[in-house]
Amino acid sequence: MKTKTVLITGGSGFIGSYLCELLLARGYRIICLDNLITGSLSNIAPLFKNHGFKFIKHDISKTIGIKDKIYYVLHFASPASPVDYLKFPIQTLKVGSLGTHNALGIAKAKRAKFFLASTSEIYGDPLVHPQKENYWGNVNTIGPRGVYDEAKRFSEAITMAYHRAHGIDTKIVRIFNTYGPRMRKEDGRAIPNFISQALKNKPITVYGRGGQTRSFCYVTDLVDGIYRLMMSPLNEPVNLGNPKEMTILQLAKEIIRLTGSKSRIVYEMLPQDDPKTRQPDITKAKKFLKWQAKVGLEEGLIETIGYFRLNKVEKAS
Ligand code: UDP
């Protein structure tokens, strides 16, 4: 059988790099595109020795000609943490809109399948709890998070349009909060912030009173679900995430406990439009993909804390 090639945009990002690894291990050739504004070459450094792996530094918001035959296009490029998309608002809007259009164009030209990384952010500050795929969401279009939420909502719309108008076999995953090694310490999300702060015994910055909830999924669980969805016949969006919900204050306390830190908790201003609750309803993933998260929060956090400790040691030496 000839080796199939998968094109991954955002392949050197946090989730993208795990996908590159998983697909290489399953015998696919990989073309990884990334403009490296939030991705990092260190995430994919071990993959360069693999002959089946090619990296192209490119911004998918601009068109690109690809000579190779492509079996699957996976569109994962986008700033994805609130701090990042506030820092790169225009790039975030462009990669979700123009970037998705370009990635779909490649899939169409190559008669490839297409996979979109969407997000729980499309539900905005949800009025339905937990969130099922048939909920349409509650998004402030002109708020600071609108740049990400609306870009991803558009990317879902154009993906379904290409599916309906051009008959492309498209898939959409709505990714809920995911964590694990390779998250950037400075990416601003709760888990990397809290772990970095805890390891330095600095104050843990809980925004608001910390009563807002999230549900955290370990990255290897997520990519397992992504692979199952890639190989499934489903074209409608599917939620992937760990339904175990907790408050941000509980998360902060858990990280203090697991790091053995002397940090105290300080309360800072809640960012505008910060969702008050978030929990995936994964009935669909369970039923059609036979998928559910396996890694518990304690186990996943211990791995992640280990990575952050090691990174600190490497940086210091
Ligand atoms: N958060 C916090 N302190 C931080 C970073 C984040 O309290 O230092 C809160 C944030 O306000 C949100 C939750 O943690 O309610 C999750 O934020 P994150 O940026 O990880 O992702 P989000 O789910 O908002 O996209």
DSSP state of 36: -
Q: Which of 215, 274, 277 to mutate to test the pocket of ligand 1 (most atoms within 8 A of CB)?
A: 274
User: What ligand 1 atom has the least distance to the C-alpha of 278?
Assistant: 23
Q: Are residues 28 and 157 in the same domain?
A: yes
Distance in Å, CA 66 to ligand 1 centroid? 38
Regarding whether 146 and 131 lie in a shared domain, the answer is: yes
CA of 289 to the centre of ligand 1 (A): 29
Q: What is the pLDDT along the chain (317 residues), one digit of tens a residue?
A: 679 999 999 999 999 999 999 999 999 999 999 999 999 999 999 999 999 999 999 999 999 999 999 999 999 999 999 999 999 999 999 999 999 999 999 999 999 999 999 999 999 999 999 999 999 999 999 999 999 999 999 999 999 999 999 999 999 999 999 999 999 998 999 999 999 999 999 999 999 999 999 999 999 999 999 999 999 999 999 999 999 999 999 999 999 999 999 999 999 999 999 999 999 999 999 999 999 999 999 999 999 999 999 986 444 33
Alpha-carbon separation of residue 264 from 43, 192, 198 (angstroms): 32, 16, 9
Number of domains forming the structure of the chain: 2
Residue 141 Cα distances to 64, 115, 152, 178, 242, angstroms: 30, 25, 12, 24, 27
- Residues contacting ligand 1 via CB (< 6 Å): 81-82, 177, 189-190, 193, 205-207, 212, 214, 248, 271, 274
Quote the ligand 1 centre to 190 CA distance (angstroms).
4
Question: Given ligand 1 and candidates 183, 189, 205, which is best to mutate, with the most ligand atoms within 8 Å of its CB?
Answer: 189
Residue 254: inside a domain: yes
Nearest-CA residue for ligand 1 atom 14 is 190
Q: For residue 57, how far is its CA from the centre of ligand 1 (angstroms)?
A: 30
Kindly state whether residue 287 falls inside one of the protein's structural domains.
no
Structural domain span for residue 47: 5-178+218-240
Residues 71 and 193 in one domain: no
CATH number at residue 264: 3.90.25.10
Q: In the 8-state DSSP scheme, what is residue 127?
A: S
CATH of the domain at 90: 3.40.50.720
Which residue's CA is minimally distant from atom 4 of ligand 1?
Answer: 190
Closest CA to 118 of 144, 96, 146: 96
Q: Is the dihedral of CA 90, 92, 95, 101 positive or negative?
A: negative
The whole-model pTM stands at: 0.97
Q: State yes or no: is 148 an active-site residue.
A: yes
Atom of ligand 1 nearest to the CA of 248: 14
Rounded Cα distance, 277 and 207, in Å: 14
- The reply to whether 31 falls in a domain is yes
Atom 1 (ligand 1) nearest CA: 190
Residues 68 and 189 in one domain: no
Instruction: Clarify whether residues 300 and 169 are in a common domain.
Output: no
Are 160 and 252 in a shared domain?
no
Residues 169 and 274 in one domain: no
How much is the pLDDT for 2? 76
Strand partners, 134: none
Reading the block at residue 230, the tokens are 């890639």
Same domain, 203 and 159: no
Residues 90 and 225 in one domain: yes
Same domain, 48 and 99: yes
CA angle at 170 for the pair 167 and 173, rounded to the nearest 5°: 160
> Which of the listed residues 214, 246, 249, 304 should we mutate to test ligand 1's pocket, taking the one with most ligand atoms within 8 A of CB?
214
33: phi then psi, degrees, rounded to nearest 5: -105, 135
Contact call for residues 46 and 67 (beta carbons, < 8 A): no
Q: Whose CA is nearest to atom 19 of ligand 1?
A: 189
| Euclidean distance between CA atoms 315 and 95, whole angstroms | 31
3-class state of residue 172 by DSSP: strand
Give the torsion through C-alpha atoms of 36, 81, 44, 156, to 10 deg: -90
The string of pLDDT tens digits covering residues 106-142 is 999 999 999 999 999 999 999 999 999 999 999 999 9
Phi and psi, residue 104, nearest 5°: -65, -35
Place of tokens 């902060």: 252
**Beta strand pairing call for 5-9 and 29-34:** parallel
Cis peptide before 130 (omega within 30 of 0): yes
Among 72, 148, 179, 218, which one carries the catalytic annotation? 148
